[in-house]
Amino acid sequence: MQQQGSYTDGFGLHDKVVLISGSTRGLGLEMASAMARSGALVYINGRSAESVEQARAALRQTGIQVQGLVGDMSVVADIDRCMAYLEEQHGRCDVLVNNMGIRIRQPLAAFNFAQMQQMLQVNLLGAMYLSQKAAALMKKQQWGRLITITSVAGHIARPGDGVYPVAKQGLTGMMRALAVEFAASGITSNAIAPGTFATETNLEMVNSAAGQTLATRNPTGRWGRPEEIAGLAVFLASDLSAYINGQVIAVDGGLSVQF
């Protein structure tokens, strides 16, 4: 076996074109930062030009450069436009991270049909169509990484959260279907299932009594820090993950395995 350079070079993403949907804050922005620092040309995505530019500016202040694509990745026309732009500019999309999602916390009985449709459209159907378009570009070069952000809520359910687990479990099924369909083309498909992370959207809950109780239920005794998801995302996007396919990897401090 021939050795060349450091083994850690295999984690590099040099010259890889990466698109991360819904990535102007939180876990998406942390993954974007880590992949850019690993050498990738990263496109962050948001629904408004203002949110995208604010996120880019925040990263620039830390010395990290990323590109931006404005569009709603649950809308077919926006997906088509953004993927056409990547094809025109680079001829490829090497890594797709399906990160966009919304959550309406309420019991199933409280949902109307339009809300159910919205949850599935944003969390599942948009990711399916975006993955289809990205995989078509990846097949041309016989290499690609499809990474889907699910949730431990796709495997464990709690009262008062009637539709979100359905959408997240649907993403797991999608990820596995993609893993089988595209593996022969050099494209792997895997999922990251985050647990409780102290992102901007969760800060109110983190600082509440309920949030403190939730932390004590975790074997680590705390909420996750957003940067703690980034290493796995970089690994799954790299050459070193080539034989990992169709897997869901939980990043939750052990929350989902504690009885």
Active site residues: 164
First to last CA, the chain: 44
Query: Which residues are within 8 A (CB) of 6 and not within 5 positions of it... i.e. 6 or more apart?
Result: none
Each residue of 21-43: b (16+ CB within 10 Å) or e?
bbbbbbbbbbbbbbbbbbebbbb
Paired residues of 46 in beta bridges: 70
Do 73 and 126 touch, CB atoms closer than 8 A? yes
Other beta carbons within 10 Å of 217:
11
Tell me how far apart the alpha carbons of residues 248 and 251 are, in angstroms, rounded to a whole number: 10
Closest CA to 198 of 228, 172, 169, 219: 228
Paired residues of 44 in beta bridges: 20, 68
DSSP H or E run through 192: strand 187-194
